[in-house]
């Protein structure tokens, strides 16, 4: 079959390589399908362009991948309209984190024909084989489908047990020369960056987090290192972002990845998502030695009761110790906080602000967002049971209008109080960030003229490029 995979426009000049579509394409090609990538993300084509493209080029299937963001949802509706308007409308298949927990709603809203639930590689290949042979699809595991206004959802498919058996993403189909320009934190002007996975899933159970699949499955470190070598050799990649749900799922996995990178003598930078309860000096030293330059931590709150309420599995004392150890190891920590969880008050927010001010290393701008109960997460069902959300339509159409605005209020505070608390907290954080940038800029002017700094690269280079992720 001829398949068009749509990488939709995120409205940004910098785009991350779309790993979901890359993984899918890599599974479809060996099954005999021809895959074409429609890079709206890079070219910023209007939706009419997609309709015209589908009218002019014959495809059997069009596939779209979505996350559950407010922007993505609005974009998905426009993309769907463009597909459905086409004279030669192909079979339309959706996949990803957005539609997986609420497939019926997504089928209804987009008029897609199928949704592939969870991991797509095996399911998509089987579905397309059946469609191509015009065979019955009703017993394909891991799909939802629509016939007119009738919706059906099958059981989920067993997870792929051995991730090493999967082919690497089909990089050759994508404009890697553009994607590699994405920035990781602490990238130099000459680094080329790409996201990679060392495994899938996470064994922790934070209530606000949605994971499509249960448990954690790791790739073998050998397989991972081979892919990194290939990326370095064929695409000049010098910096890898581990976009796993969580790379530091255990000390053992983190050590195995680091040791394999060190043994392979890969001279590459990398960053990852981390857990502060695993941050010992020994492990951090090993990570640093292996090339780690940034660890993005989910801290979420600096109040122990709030942390317990969200089942974070972390205590504030572990957070402080872990962040201090990370800084001592010479790695920049990402300090991510959310507000508005069960038990949050003005005081708990101030504790988080004080913490950010104390440990800010200015590697990234710090802000605090309200928590969002993404569909499929335990907090989403809690919101429904508390009457804060009616259903998925209420989430997408009425409540989740912007990630920085309140979706549901889980606290005892009024909405007005929450907004005022967030306004003051983010003013304090912005003030801190811009005062430091201001000081740094003035110091470099002084250094240039007082010390005649011949390494100076121009005032416009001072800010550097913004980081992605
Ligand atoms: C990279 C990433 C991003 C990138 C995406 C850029 C890009 N080009 O893809 C960026 C930084 C933009 C991003 C943003 C957001 N993200 Co994000 N992101 C991720 C991350 C770390 C990796 C996604 C990924 O590539 N996974 C690897 C691939 C292989 O898996 P996959 O995409 O799921 O694809 C598989 C299946 O889903 C399926 N599939 C996927 N698409 C399709 C399509 C078809 C046709 C078929 C058949 C199958 C199929 O097959 C694939 C292979 O198995 C995930 C966490 C994670 N580790 O997955 C979070 C994650 C997806 N993000 C999340 C969120 C919440 C967001 C934001 C909404 C956050 C926010 N509040 O702003 C924003 C969205 C805003 C925006 N403007 O984009 C949540 C999603 C929760 C949810 N219920 O949707 C996740 C799960 C993190 C988390 N646990 O909270 N994100
Ligand atoms: S927030 Fe991080 S640690 Fe918690 S469940 Fe999600 S991926 Fe795992």
Average confidence (pLDDT) over 46-66: 98
Per-residue model confidence (pLDDT) at position 253: 97
pLDDT in tens, 162-195: 999 999 999 999 999 999 999 999 999 899 999 9
Q: Is 103 in the pocket of ligand 1 (CB under 6 A)?
A: no
Cβ atoms of residues 68 and 374 within 8 Å? yes
Is residue 461 very low, low, confident or very high in pLDDT (cuts 50, 70, 90)? low
Q: What is the mean pLDDT of the chain?
A: 95
Would the pLDDT of 359 be above 60? yes
Would the pLDDT of 321 be above 70? yes
Cβ atoms of residues 91 and 123 within 8 Å? no
Per-residue model confidence (pLDDT) at position 462: 53
Closest atom of ligand 1 to CA, residue 403 = 71
Q: Using alpha carbons, select from 324, 327, 307 the residue that is nearest to residue 315.
A: 307
Task: Please report, for the chain, the start and end positions of each structural domain, with discontinuous segments joined by +.
Answer: 2-153, 168-442
Q: From the CA atom positions of the chain, what is the Rg in Å?
A: 23
Would the pLDDT of 35 be above 70? yes
- Choose between 277 and 469: higher pLDDT: 277
Instruction: Give the rounded distance of the alpha carbon of 459 from its chain centre.
Output: 32
Cβ atoms of residues 216 and 203 within 8 Å? yes
Q: Please report, to the nearest 10 degrees, the dihedral formed by the alpha carbons of residues 363, 366, 372, 377 taken in order.
A: 40
Average confidence (pLDDT) over 309-315: 97
Closest atom of ligand 2 to CA, residue 205 = 5
CA distances (Å), origin 237, targets 138, 270, 274, 446:
43, 11, 22, 36
In percent, the amount of the chain with pLDDT more than 90 equals: 93
| Bridge partners, 294 (sequence order) | 271, 332
pLDDT in tens, 281-306: 999 999 999 999 999 999 999 999 99
Q: Is 23 in the pocket of ligand 1 (CB under 6 A)?
A: yes
Average confidence (pLDDT) over 130-155: 96
Per-residue model confidence (pLDDT) at position 365: 87
Distance 252 CA to ligand 2 centre (A): 17
Cβ atoms of residues 228 and 242 within 8 Å? no
Per-residue model confidence (pLDDT) at position 468: 35
Would the pLDDT of 467 be above 60? no
What are the φ/ψ torsions at residue 377 (nearest 5 degrees)?
Answer: -80, 155
For 115, the enclosing helix (H) or strand (E) is: strand 114-116
Average confidence (pLDDT) over 238-262: 97
Domain 2-153 has CATH 3.40.50.280: yes
Would the pLDDT of 469 be above 70? no
Closest atom of ligand 1 to CA, residue 23 = 52
The pick from 8, 20, 90 for probing ligand 1's pocket by mutation, whose C-beta has the most ligand atoms within 8 angstroms, reads: 20
Contacts for 415-420: CB closer than 8 Å, 24+ residues apart: 417/346, 418/339, 418/340, 418/370
Q: How many CB atoms lie within 10 A of CB 455?
A: 6
Is residue 458 very low, low, confident or very high in pLDDT (cuts 50, 70, 90)? confident
Distance 56 CA to ligand 1 centre (A): 30
Distance CA 284, CA 228 (A): 21
215: left (phi over 0), alpha (psi -120 to 50) or beta: left
Look up the CATH architecture of domain 168-442.
Answer: Alpha-Beta Barrel (3.20)
Average confidence (pLDDT) over 317-332: 97
Q: Using alpha carbons, select from 82, 77, 99, 69 the residue that is nearest to residue 38.
A: 82
Distance CA 113, CA 413 (A): 43
* Strands 269-274 and 239-242, sheet pairing: parallel
Which residues, 6 or more positions from 102, have their beta carbon under 8 angstroms from its beta carbon? 375, 376, 392
Distance 211 CA to ligand 2 centre (A): 8
Note the pTM of the prediction, 2 decimals.
0.95
Distance 417 CA to ligand 1 centre (A): 32
Distance 412 CA to ligand 1 centre (A): 32
Distance CA 159, CA 217 (A): 9
Per-residue model confidence (pLDDT) at position 465: 40
Cα end-to-end distance, the chain, whole Å: 34
Distance 263 CA to ligand 2 centre (A): 29
Q: Is 380 in the pocket of ligand 1 (CB under 6 A)?
A: no
Q: Which two tokens stand for residue 301?
A: 């709150």
Closest atom of ligand 1 to CA, residue 469 = 11
Q: Is 128 in the pocket of ligand 1 (CB under 6 A)?
A: no
Would the pLDDT of 466 be above 70? no
């Amino acid at each position: 079959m001829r398949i068009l995979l749509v990488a939709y426009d995120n409205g940004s000049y910098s785009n991350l390589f779309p790993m979901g579509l890359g993984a899918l394409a890599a599974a479809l090609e060996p099954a005999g399908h021809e895959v074409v990538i429609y890079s709206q993300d890079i070219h910023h084509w209007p939706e009419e362009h997609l309709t015209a493209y589908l009218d002019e080029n014959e495809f059997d299937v069009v596939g779209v991948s979505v996350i559950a963001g407010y922007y993505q949802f609005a974009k998905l509706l426009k993309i769907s309209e463009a597909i459905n308007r086409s004279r030669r409308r192909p079979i339309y298949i959706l996949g990803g984190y957005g539609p997986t927990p609420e497939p019926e709603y997504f089928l209804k809203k987009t008029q897609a024909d199928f949704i592939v639930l969870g991991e797509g590689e095996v399911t998509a290949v089987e579905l397309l084989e059946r469609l191509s042979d015009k065979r019955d699809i009703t017993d394909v595991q891991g799909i939802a489908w629509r016939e007119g206004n009738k919706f059906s959802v099958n059981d989920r498919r067993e997870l792929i047990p051995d991730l090493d058996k999967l082919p690497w993403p089909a990089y050759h189909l994508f404009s890697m020369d553009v994607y590699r320009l994405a920035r990781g934190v602490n990238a130099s002007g000459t680094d080329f960056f790409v996201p990679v996975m060392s495994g899938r899933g996470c064994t922790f159970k934070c209530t606000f987090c949605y994971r499509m699949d249960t448990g954690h499955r790791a790739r073998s470190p050998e397989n991972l290192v081979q892919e990194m070598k290939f990326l370095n050799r064929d695409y000049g990649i010098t910096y890898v972002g581990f976009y796993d749900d969580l790379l530091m799922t255990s000390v053992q996995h983190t050590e195995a990845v680091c040791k394999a990178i060190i043994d392979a003598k890969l001279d590459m930078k990398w960053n990852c998502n981390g857990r502060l309860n695993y941050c010992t000096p020994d492990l951090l030293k090993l990570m640093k030695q292996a090339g780690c330059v940034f660890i993005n931590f989910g801290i979420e709150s600096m109040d122990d009761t709030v942390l317990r309420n969200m089942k974070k599995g972390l205590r504030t004392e572990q957070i402080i110790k872990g962040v201090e150890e990370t800084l001592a190891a010479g790695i920049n920590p990402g300090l991510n906080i959310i507000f508005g969880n069960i038990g949050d008050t003005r005081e708990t927010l101030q504790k988080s602000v004080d913490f950010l001010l104390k440990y800010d290393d200015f590697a990234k701008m710090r802000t605090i967002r309200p928590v969002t109960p993404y569909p499929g997460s335990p907090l989403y069902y809690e919101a429904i049971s508390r009457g804060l959300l009616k259903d998925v339509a209420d989430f997408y159409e009425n409540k989740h209008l912007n990630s920085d605005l309140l979706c549901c209020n889980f606290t005892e505070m009024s909405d007005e109080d929450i907004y005022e608390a967030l306004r003051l907290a983010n003013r304090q954080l912005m003030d801190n960030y811009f005062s430091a940038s201001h000081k740094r800029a003035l110091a470099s002017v002084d250094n240039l003229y007082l010390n005649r700094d011949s390494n100076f690269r121009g005032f416009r280079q001072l800010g550097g490029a913004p980081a992605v992720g």
